[in-house]
Amino acid sequence: LSSFCRCLLEIAAVAERSEMETTSQSKAAIVRSVLTAISVSYSDLNDSLFRFSLDGLPSCIIRVRDQGIIFYSLYPNRIDTQYRKAVAEFLVRVNFALNFGNFEFNLDDGQVRFKMSVQATQALDLSAPLKSCLILAQEVYPRWVSGIHLV
């Protein structure tokens, strides 16, 4: 390769590393901005983890990743071992019916959580899709999580 081409490749690599560092910080700023705009108080343990409550969703987490933003709403109780098989089947059926998001179930510790995500490549401005995730979660989570009590 010519020295000019090597120089261009080096500049591109530096720019990509710089962009990755900046995007995580800017995604965290977007999360702060959205949560502030909808009047949600939150704790940010660092630029990649935010904890908060939302109407109808008692325990929420947002994780900022290089690939995008992941939103979780945590079920408040662990599922007892004796009910895990039935709850797993229920959540598989619920997930089949969902158009957006999904329930995750840890069979080892009984934790249930609802997850939605926004990939960074899906939108230049992540604030609108993030707001949509939060609104959809407020509709979806309460509708389906009540069924866990019936299992």
Q: Measure Cα distances from 18 to 24, 28, 31 in Å.
A: 10, 16, 20
Q: Which of 91, 60, 87 has its CA nearest to residue 75? A: 60
Map out the domains of the chain with their CATH numbers.
3-150 (3.30.1460.10)
Q: What is the pTM of this model?
A: 0.79
The CA distance from 30 to 23, in Å, is: 10
Q: Measure Cα distances from 4 to 7, 8, 11, 48 in Å.
A: 5, 6, 11, 38
> Which string of b and e fits 19-42 if b means at least 16 CB within 10 Å?
eeeebbeebbebbeebbeeeeeeb
pLDDT tens-digit readout, 39-97: 999 999 888 999 999 887 889 999 999 889 999 999 999 999 999 999 999 999 999 99
The CA distance from 14 to 20, in Å, is: 10
Instruction: Place 9 in a pLDDT band, splitting at 50, 70 and 90.
Output: low
Average pLDDT on 111-128 reads 84
Q: Phi/psi of residue 91, each to 5°? A: -70, -35
* Mean of per-residue pLDDT scores for the chain: 85
